[in-house]
Amino acid sequence: MKNFKKDFPWFEANKGITYLDSGATTLKPQCVIDFVNKYMIEESYNSHNTDSKYTYSTTKIIYETKEKLANYLGTKAENIIFTPGATYSINMVSQGIKHILNEGDEILLNTLEHASNLLPWFELAKEKKLIIKYIENKDIFLTEDEILSSISPKTRLISFANGTNLIGGSLNAEEISVRIKEKNPNTIICIDGTQYVPLNKMNLMNSKIDFLACSAHKMCAPTGIGLLYLNDEMKKHLKPTIYGGGMNKSIKKDSYSQMDSLAKYEAGTLNILGIYGWNAALDYLNNLDFKDVKNNLFEIKKYLDKEINKIPGFSVINDNVNSYITIFRHETLFSQDLAGYLGQNKIIVRSGFSCAKLAHYNTKYDQFVRVSLYVYSDYEDVDKLIEVLKKYKKGDEINWV
């Protein structure tokens, strides 16, 4: 495999540090940094200024980025809204469709979801007197059959991640959406694609997915920019949740009219710097052979899991699955103390539940250390982690600051 670390200047700037927290945010390749700098140094125009060939360059990049995202996700640019991130996108859905939901309607969730795909629905259910139900799954991984068996005539909305941030694994949301609609055509389907799309393209056009959210910073781009996909049917129903400049067609003293396009959902100035970064990141990702990259990461994870399980006191919770995420624990050591010990030894990981705070219903444990891999992860990173875990002795965790 190619040495992808050479593409990411973070490694040169942080020699000796091992980065194993890409599920939280990915590092940025030089091409992304360069294109962001191009905007800041050479352009820095607002997208609302199209009065000259110079200032129009910004608007052109915004449209171009939507086209690239549309190709990546298998849809049309007219079905994509820029947002500040996936959390914002899911909140847009929960607040933007509440007028078509009625008291007693059922929302179907599962206990493996990130807080961003739980709390918006909790608030909506409270406001509209809806009923939240949970998919019953026997293992720590959610399956297609478990999703489908939970759909009932009363299910009005289902929201799930096609790749979870704590457990790992993936689901074919395109195929599942078709089967959900066959069982209950009135079910609104919202997908959290945040952890899935960084190494998986999609085919939304051939799906029955109504909404999909994701964040750019999981895809080698800057923070503060994401998207919401909505299909043509939901364009008729989703109401804007932010009002202001750029989303109105006309304003009178006592009324106003909204834009006919999806611009009505993008009031105010967009995160243009973030969009430039996402544009370059998509070019970088499109040049990867996803199949080879993923297979390599799967093999690295298998090696990691095997080596952790050999160390007395340590155990992997989500082994025997193709994933970029490994969660493991020590039989007596608190996960934050263990993560702090690793940090003291220049290894960056994540502890706790990584915002999936209902996952203990599935895992039977209440804390973990998470290792999350990405294109630049390699066996050397894993060997450094294993070496540090092997030399751990009781009390080492109290020495870090």
Residue 358 covered by a domain = yes
Give percent helix, percent strand, percent coil of the chain, each to the nearest 5: 45, 15, 40
Q: Which residues are within 8 A (CB) of 357 and not within 5 positions of it... i.e. 6 or more apart?
A: 115
Report the C-alpha gap between 202 and 200 in whole angstroms.
6
Compute the average pLDDT of residues 211-239. Answer: 98
| Of the residues 286, 320, 352, the one at which a domain ends | 286
Closest CA to 92 of 105, 80, 83: 83
Asked whether residue 33 is assigned to any structural domain, the reply reads no
Q: 3-class DSSP state for residue 193? A: coil
Residues 227 and 376 in one domain: no
Specify the DSSP element, H or E, that contains 123. Answer: helix 119-128
**pLDDT per residue over 309-332, tens digit each?**
999 999 999 998 899 999 999 999
The answer to whether residues 238 and 315 belong to one domain is no
Q: Is the pLDDT of residue 399 over 70?
A: no
In a domain, 35, yes or no: no
Q: How far apart, in whole angstroms, are the C-alpha atoms of residue 168 and residue 324?
A: 7
Look at the alpha carbons of 183, 185, 186, 188 in this order and tell me if their dihedral is positive or negative. positive
Model confidence over 144-175: pLDDT tens digits? Answer: 999 999 999 999 999 999 999 888 889 999 99
Q: State how far the Cα of 386 lies from the Cα of 307, in Å rounded to an integer.
A: 7
Q: What is the CATH number of the domain that holds 129?
A: 3.40.640.10
DSSP 205: G
| pLDDT tens for each residue of 27-59 | 999 999 999 999 999 999 998 787 888 788 999
In this structure, the answer to whether residues 299 and 218 fall within a common structural domain is no
Would you say 17 and 266 are in contact if contact means Cβ atoms under 8 Å apart? no
What backbone phi and psi angles, to 5 degrees, belong to 277? -65, -40
pLDDT band at residue 93, thresholds of 50, 70 and 90?
Answer: very high
For residue 360, name the pLDDT band (cuts at 50, 70, 90).
confident
Asked whether residue 63 is assigned to any structural domain, the reply reads: yes
Q: Provide DSSP, 250-272.
A: EE-SS-EEE-SSGGGG--S---H
- The count of domains in the chain is 2
Mean pLDDT of 197-209: 97
The answer on 200 and 232 residing in a single domain is yes
Which residue, among 376, 359, 371, 367, has the nearest Cα to 305 in the 3D structure?
Answer: 371
Q: In terms of domains, do 273 and 303 share one?
A: no
More confident residue, 45 or 70: 70
CB 370 within 8 A of CB 349: yes
Average predicted confidence (pLDDT) for the chain? 94
- The residue among 140 and 206 whose pLDDT is bigger is 206
At 87, list the tokens: 């959390």
CATH number where 20 lies: 3.90.1150.10
The answer to whether residue 304 is domain-embedded is yes
Question: What is the reported pLDDT for 191?
Answer: 98
Q: Is 91 exposed, middle or buried (0-12, 13-18, 19+ CB in 10 A)?
A: buried
From 286, 306, 329, the end of a domain falls on 286
- Residues 170, 113 share a domain: yes
Do 268 and 294 sit in the same domain of this protein?
A: no
Residue 400 has pLDDT above 60, yes or no: no
On whether both 72 and 208 belong to a single domain, the answer is: yes
State the DSSP code for 21: B
Residue at 39 is within a domain: no
pLDDT above 70 (res 264): yes
Q: What is the DSSP string of 364-377?
A: S-S-EEEEE--TT-
Residues 257 and 363 in one domain: no
Residue 396 has a pLDDT of: 74
pLDDT recorded at residue 96: 98
Q: Which of 265, 286, 307 finishes a domain?
A: 286
* Threshold 0.85, pTM exceeds: yes
In residues, how long is the chain?
A: 401
Examine residue 34 and state whether it is found in any structural domain, yes or no. no
Query: Quick one: 94 and 169 in the same domain?
Result: yes
Mean pLDDT of 382-393: 96
Q: Which domain holds residue 310?
A: 4-28+289-399
Asked if residue 36 belongs to a domain, the reply is no
Distance (Å, rounded) from C-alpha 195 to C-alpha 173?
Answer: 13
Give the pLDDT band of residue 401 (cuts 50, 70, 90). Answer: low
- Range 226-253 average pLDDT: 95
107, 82 Cβ separation under 8 angstroms: no
**Are 123 and 62 members of one domain?**
yes
Both 278 and 319 in one domain: the answer is: no
